[in-house]
Structure 1
């Protein structure tokens, strides 16, 4: 499988993806000592609704330098245009995206934002604050989303001023998904799609306990990525088939 995985990493990429999800997951790998290594993963959906694992790489920890290198590698292999990137709150991600794909837009994963909020509030408030924040992505248009978000600020500002300020600081990245057709919004307000792939990888890696070296881990991830791409080669992701012409128009 090693030559196939090497060819996978070098293959020419499609010139455009409507959206690209970026996320890192951690897998046990033995180097000098037993460590959990970061696997950086990019999964994209094309304007026609077909999705694929674009590429991945392995590093000791998650940092923006490695993400930048992965993005530049994707561009050099033919991926010239991306309309929308989605990721969690990695420091420097927006800057890296602007340098590599200056015309692309950026959506912060609302599920990650909600988790961060819940981690910083009292246990007895978590369910209520989570239910309130969920309303942000369940509105019919962007203006309603803004109204709900600002009501969320007002309700919780007094109890959790610092938490609310953190959300206000990233507000411009929270409601970008409303700029796109409602048929696909449920797929583009979070990185849940890529996390489902990560969960499959982790589940299949669990019986191995740890990988003896980076090549073995790289080969294992490559097999999962190629299997995923084969499985979804001609499937259209939910909602995308209904708005294919609209999504194509973003690249004209």
Structure 2
């Protein structure tokens, strides 16, 4: 009987399958092919074929665990080979984003360090099998950490960024057997080509003037030129740091946050008209028109005791909240608020909240960096503002 022999380029086959547009009837075929690919990878890792004996083998087979893979035709349930030491890792899932890899790595570290919950253990067993060694975790960090750090420290002198957004969010990190709060500082920007970028991030102590100054200075050290405008909330330490680090840069107070603050100062009753008037001030395209409405509001309500708090707050923050009006009108809707960086924060929070408490500082840095790096790359594929 004639036998047919196929000489397949497994790498090309894997790439073709992963990007295929096949229909659901091919799922069973894909499962067979992908399982076989991973089996071959394990054989190559051990350097001994199945049922063969050798004193020069690298490891021993240790069965399989199930894992789902989402491809264009749906979810595939695969049998992933594992080895006794737990050091073998298939390359099939490398198409997972770095943020997914960093996410799993954070849970593995929790598992290894004995601070895992039942939920973490279940996820680890599902993704990696029951046996996870410290050397296996180390091998993953070697792959991910340098990539994240290289991106986070890349030079910033190849592009001018006229508008920069900065913000911080808090996370919990295990440190010296205690759970402490850490601040994640993030900077994004609109570059001269009217495209958004993420410039950098840092995981440090709680928000303060010193911490903000250190973070902003790190951007300058990477070659950043002072921007025209920095947009942020009204943290006093941040505002002071911006003025000292970025010489000649104006500071724009987020109008959304400022308006919320003003609304909180208004009387609880009979203030609907005042609310509309305040909102109208910041709908103006020209600063002269905004200042005129501001003066009208101040004169109208200055004689009312119950409006003194809102008048004082408006007076103190008005000029900082209209700095965006000094810029070309085409940018106004993009630079008057911190909405852009808050969307980035939500993406970080979505993944970070599952971890709840990071096992160490580096884990927090790694996952945050991987998420931001993936998000940054998505921004580069989008059109201009």
Do the two structures share a fold, i.e. TM-score over 0.5?
Answer: yes
The 3-state SS of whatever aligns with 1:21 is strand
Matches within 5 A, 1:115-130: 115-124=260-269, 129-130=274-275
Structure 2, unmatched stretches of 5+, are 1-143
Q: Which range is displaced more, 26-35 or 209-218?
A: 26-35
The residue matched to 1:56 in structure 2 has which SS? strand
Aligned residues: 238
Correspondence list, 1:169-248, <5 A: 169-238=316-385
Measured after TM superposition, the shift of residue 68 of structure 1 is: 0.6
Give how far 1:130 is off: 4.3
**Range moving further from structure 2, 25-34 or 105-114:** 25-34
Map Cα deviations across residues 2-36 of structure 1 (whole Å, 9 max, x no partner): 11122123211145201000111122323353344
Residues 25-64 of structure 1 mapped to structure 2, 5 A cutoff: 25-31=169-175, 32-64=177-209
- Tell whether the 8 Å contact from 1:44 to 1:53 is kept in structure 2 after alignment: yes
Residue correspondence of structure 1 range 151-166 to structure 2 within 5 A: 151-157=296-302, 158=304, 159-166=306-313
What's the CA shift string for 1:200-252, capped at 9, x where partnerless? Answer: 111122222221111111111101111111111143442xxxxxxxxxxxxxx
- The answer to whether the 8 Å contact 2:209/2:240 transfers is no
Q: TM-score, with normalisation over the residues of structure 2?
A: 0.57
Q: 1:16 aligns with which of 124, 149, 160?
A: 160
1:3 match: 146
CA deviation vs aligned residue, 1:158-217 (integer Å, no higher than 9, x gap): 223133213212322111111112221011111111011111111122222221111111
Q: Name the SS for the 1:135 alignment partner.
A: helix
Task: State how far apart, in whole Å, the 1-side matches of 2:271 and 2:338 are.
Answer: 21
**Matches of 2:209 and 2:145, distance apart in 1:** 27
Mapped partners of 1:125, 1:60: distance in 2: 43
Whole-angstrom distance in 2 between the partners of 1:203 and 1:20: 23
Instruction: Return the index of the structure with the highest Cα Rg.
Output: 2
Q: Aligned residue for 2:282?
A: 137
**TM-score between the two structures when normalised by the length of structure 1:** 0.85
Aligned to 2:187, the other structure's residue is in SS state strand
Tell me the distance in 2 between the aligned counterparts of 1:26 and 1:212: 15
Q: Separation in 1 of the partners of 2:270 and 2:332? A: 28
CA contact (8 A) 2:167 2:233 kept: yes
2 CA distance for matches of 1:179 and 1:7? 36
1 or 2 for the larger relative contact order (CA 8 Å, sep ≥6)?
1
- From 292, 295, 298, the equivalent of 1:147 is 292
Query: CA RMSD, aligned part only?
Result: 2.1
SS in 2 for 1:170: helix
CA 106–133 in structure 1, closer or farther in 2 if over 3 Å, else same:
same
- Counterparts of 1:123 and 1:10, CA distance in 2: 49
Q: Which runs of no fewer than 5 residues in structure 1 stay unpaired? A: 239-252
Q: Per the alignment, do residues 33 and 199 of structure 1 end up closer, same or farther by CA in structure 2, a change over 3 Å counting?
A: same
